[in-house]
Amino acid sequence: MSATTVSELLTGGAADAAAIGGIDAAAMTYAGLAAQAERVASALAAAGVRPNDRIAIVLPNGPEMATAFLCVACIATTAPLNPAYRTEEFAFYLEDLKACALLVEAGSDSPAVAAAVGLGVPVIELVPVEDGPAGAFDLRIPQLATPVAPARAPNADDIALVLHTSGTTSRPKIVPLSHGNVCASARNITATLSLAAGDRALNVMPLFHIHGLMAAILASLNAGASVVCTPGFDALRFFGWLDAASPTWYSAVPTMHQAILTRARRNKEIIARARLRFVRSSSSSLPPQVLQELEEAFGVRVVEAYAMTEAAHQMTSNQLPPGDRKPGTVGIASGPDVRIMSESDPTLLDVGETGEIVIRGDNVTTGYDSNPQANADNFVAGWFRTGDQGVMDDDGFLTITGRLKEIINRGGEKISPREVDDVLMDHPAVQQVVTFAMPHKSLGEDVACAVVLRDGADATERDLQDFVRERAAAFKVPRKVLFLDEIPKGATGKLQRIGLAEKLGIG
29 pLDDT more than 60: yes
376 pLDDT more than 70: yes
How sure is the predictor about 166, in pLDDT bands with cuts at 50, 70 and 90? low
How sure is the predictor about 136, in pLDDT bands with cuts at 50, 70 and 90? very high
pLDDT score, position 149: 67
Q: How many angstroms separate the CA atoms of 436 and 428, rounded?
A: 21
Q: How many angstroms separate the CA atoms of 229 and 240, rounded?
A: 14
List, for residues 334-358, the tens digit of each pLDDT value. Answer: 999 999 999 989 999 999 999 999 9
Concatenated DSSP letters of 279-292? EEE-SS---HHHHH
191 pLDDT more than 60: yes
Across the strands, what pairs with 399?
391
CATH code of the domain occupying 407-503: 3.30.300.30
Concatenated DSSP letters of 369-399? TT-HHHHHHHEETTEEEEEEEEEE-TT--EE
477 pLDDT more than 90: yes
168 pLDDT more than 80: no
Mean pLDDT of 28-45: 97
Higher per-residue confidence, 156 vs 167: 156
Mean pLDDT of 310-319: 97
Domain boundaries, the chain: 30-154, 187-403, 407-503
pLDDT score, position 350: 96
pLDDT score, position 104: 98
Tell me which amino acid residue 297 is: A
Q: Which fold has domain 187-403?
A: Rossmann fold (3.40.50)
Q: What's the CA angle centered on 189, arms 184 and 190, to 5 degrees?
A: 95
Q: How many angstroms separate the CA atoms of 59 and 294, rounded?
A: 31
CA distances from 256 to 7, 136, 233, 402 (A): 32, 29, 8, 21
- What is the three-class DSSP state of 141? coil
Angle, to 10 degrees, between the axis of helix 235-245 and the axis of helix 254-261? 90
Q: What is the pTM of this model?
A: 0.89
Nearest Cα to Cα of residue 185 among 211, 216, 217, 219:
219
452 pLDDT more than 90: yes
CATH code of the domain occupying 30-154: 3.40.50.980
Q: How many angstroms separate the CA atoms of 316 and 413, rounded?
A: 29
List, for residues 264-303, the tens digit of each pLDDT value. Answer: 999 999 999 999 999 999 988 888 999 999 999 999 999 9
Mean pLDDT of 293-315: 97
pLDDT score, position 338: 98
pLDDT score, position 184: 98
How sure is the predictor about 170, in pLDDT bands with cuts at 50, 70 and 90? low
Nearest Cα to Cα of residue 47 among 139, 129, 147:
147
pLDDT score, position 407: 86
Report the chain's mean pLDDT, rounded to a whole number: 94
List, for residues 215-245, the tens digit of each pLDDT value. Answer: 999 999 999 999 999 999 999 999 999 999 9
Across the strands, what pairs with 333?
316
167 pLDDT more than 70: no
Residues 75 and 66 sit within 8 Å (Cβ to Cβ): no
List, for residues 408-428, the tens digit of each pLDDT value. Answer: 989 888 888 888 998 999 999
With a pLDDT cut of 90, the percent of the chain lying above it is 85
Q: Do 187-403 and 407-503 come out as alike in CATH topology?
A: no
pLDDT score, position 423: 93
